Amino acid sequence: MAEEAGRRQDLGEGGIHPGDLYGFLVARGSLPAQPVRLAARGRNALAPGVRSNMDIRHLTFEQYRYFRDVGLGGQLPDEQVNRGYRGWAPLRNRAGSDLALGTGARWREWATVLLPEMGLWPGMQGGSSEFEVQACAKYGKTRTLYVPEDAAASADLFCVLERPDIVRAAARTLERKARDLFVVAGVDVAGGVVRGTLDGVDREFRMSAMSAKLRRITVYEGEFGLEALTLFVCRGGLMPGADAWKGYRHRAWEWMTALADSTTPHLPARRWRWHDLRHTHALQLLTYLENLMDGEEPDPKARSRRHHTYLTGHIRHNPLLIVSRRLGHADPSTTYEYLQYTDDLVNEFEAAFRGWVGDDDAT
């Protein structure tokens, strides 16, 4: 009896496992296939043989510059200043797009970045930087993000020209909320640690282990009073949330579609997402590395990379694996989805069949 009770507990009420029931119904012909179920950590567990493809959407160089400069930055298509622009904090929004594209990070990773992580902190040299993400990364998987110099310069421009006015206007509001905030008293840049007071208790946190929720309420005593430790701030003085960034993107789309003219690059039917910049980063990097391996890029290291035959060399220099590590993909097969977009089929056709079709002497 005890053995039977244990078996029933393992299988569920009635002694029948849900999977066995669906399998029985499929075998009987009552169901065409087993249904999709939601597995742990938000992943879809599909029935055998069913694969979910990624919705890869990416931007060309012209599309990205139009999205960033016209939609987010308030310029006219001819790169002139738009006097009628009614957006807010264009330098912040441009910096966000540059950081998303330059790092290839997911929204929760780049939108929650702290000033010390960006190198924008007293005593730090600035420029390109590297920092570790964990709590804000997908599934909490630790990896290192690299911020290229151009993206860092865009963030620095925001900090110099636009951010001070935002934090000055919000300082009094943050002072009134101080009891509900994590007020940082010291930042150990080398150790990646911040120390301060939260709920009346002295606390210490490793920056990479700080959740997005904690980062949003983290402040320090700045020039004008309390100000957010996060790079990006909104009118209230704290880090913009997901809905705020969604609003920035939607308004940018409305603005740039309204200004579209004959010089505007082709716009897709659906408005762009922030995540499209991650896809664009992946494709650009993958294409560049593939060309490097093929000797099409002027890099002195290209020859040595092409002739690595050992397993360690393959792992270190394989373009697909490099991009997979950079994006933090748990499985390289996810990165494999991007390969179908790296082929330039038009130019490949022209090269392969040059002279086959048409009359070369025709004018």
Residue with tokens 């790169």: 79
Residue-level pLDDT at 277: 92
Residue-level pLDDT at 53: 59
Residue-level pLDDT at 190: 92
Residue with tokens 């139009």: 66
Q: What is the pLDDT of residues 225-272, one digit of tens each?
A: 999 999 999 999 999 999 999 999 999 999 999 999 989 999 988 899
Note the helical H segments in the chain. 2-11, 18-28, 61-65, 90-103, 107-110, 115-118, 149-161, 163-176, 212-216, 242-258, 275-293, 302-306, 311-317, 319-327, 332-336, 345-352
* Overall pTM surpassing 0.75 (yes/no): no
Residue-level pLDDT at 287: 78
pLDDT under 70: residue ranges of the chain: 1-22, 34-55, 294-363
Residue with tokens 């002027």: 298
User: 124 with 184: CB under 8 angstroms?
Assistant: no
Q: What is the pLDDT of residues 276-334, one digit of tens each?
A: 998 888 888 777 777 777 665 555 554 444 444 444 444 556 666 666 666 666 666 66
Residue-level pLDDT at 57: 79
| Strands (DSSP E) found in 37-105 | 37-38, 44-45
* Residue 249 CB contacts under 8 Å (≥ 6 apart), including other chains: 271, 272, 273, 274
